[in-house]
Structure 1
Amino acid sequence: MIKDLLKVKNCFIKESVKNWEDAICVACAPVIEQGYCTKEYEDAVFENTEKFGPYYVLCENLALIHASNQSGVNETQMAVTVLKEPVRFKPDGYDVRILVTLVAKDNHSHMEGIQAVSNIFADESKVNSLLNASTPQEIYNIFVENVG
């Protein structure tokens, strides 16, 4: 259930981040602080970025930050941070304003989260609603409404 996968307290609106490294730290902080994963998960995202580049930047405005379920995962959970100012993960890359952190302990428990992301990003008006959200509750509602 998406309501188990994403909580209002894991939805954030932030003015800006210093750089892409700061974006990863900001995006991973809530799931680490609440024990859904350890710092090892964040470290794995950095290691993977070194090896493969920013593989998690899927399109304009979206970074789906994730690593292997072997990397310090305790429980499946999502966090969503909407940035007012975009960040770039590489000089010629997309501007990113939505950071979705996905921590998955297996290959199936996070599928409703992927489905919501997919449904939102298939519709520009939904993306704009997310970009213009003014409260964590609005962000949460947009995700919950876009499963199925």
Structure 2
Amino acid sequence: MISNLLKEKNCFIKESVKDWKEAIHIACESMIDQGYCTQEYEQAIFDSTKQYGPYYVLCENLALIHASNHSGVNETQMAVTVLKNPIKFSEDGYDVRILVTLVAKDKESHMDGIVAVSNIFSDEEKVKSLLNAKDGKEIYTIFSENV
């Protein structure tokens, strides 16, 4: 269930970030603070980005921030950060405004989150709703209605 995977308190709106590294840090911060993962998870994302590039930028506006489930994961959880101003993770990459952080301890427990992301990003109106969300509650509602 999405309510086990995403909590309203893990849905945020932020004006801007200075670069892709700050974007990853902001995207992971609440997960680390609440003990769903450790700093090692954030570092694994940085390391993977160095090695493979920003593999988690899936399309215009969306970065699905994640790393191997072996890297500092304590419990499966998700966070969503909507940026008012877009960020690029690479010079020729997409503009990104929605950071979905996925911390998964196994291969199954995060599937409702993947379904919600897929349902939202297959509908331009839902993406617009998410981009125009006024607060974390609105972001949470959009995700919970799209499982």
Shift of residue 42, structure 1, vs aligned partner: 0.2
Alignment correspondent of 2:122: 122
Q: Distance in 2 between matches of 1:136 and 1:65?
A: 18
TM-score by structure 2 length?
A: 1.00
Alignment correspondent of 1:31: 31
Shift of residue 34, structure 1, vs aligned partner: 0.2
Alignment correspondent of 2:136: 136
The total of aligned residue pairs comes to 147
Alignment correspondent of 1:17: 17
5+ residue gaps, structure 2, are none
Q: Which amino acid aligns with 1:44?
A: A
- Note if 1:84 corresponds to 2:89: no
Q: Distance in 1 between matches of 2:145 and 2:61?
A: 20
What secondary structure sits across from 1:99 in the alignment?
strand
Alignment correspondent of 2:52: 52
Shift of residue 107, structure 1, vs aligned partner: 0.3
Map residues 90-109 of structure 1 onto 2, 5 A cutoff: 90-109=90-109
5+ residue gaps, structure 1, are none
Q: Distance in 2 between matches of 1:107 and 1:77?
A: 13
What secondary structure sits across from 1:90 in the alignment?
coil
Q: Distance in 2 between matches of 1:61 and 1:20?
A: 13
Shift of residue 74, structure 1, vs aligned partner: 0.2
Identity %, equivalent residues: 73
- Note if 1:70 corresponds to 2:74: no
Q: Distance in 2 between matches of 1:25 and 1:135?
A: 20
Q: Distance in 1 between matches of 2:43 and 2:111?
A: 23
TM-score by structure 1 length?
A: 0.99
Shift of residue 47, structure 1, vs aligned partner: 0.3
> Following superposition, which runs of at least 4 residues in structure 1 exceed 2 angstroms of deviation?
none
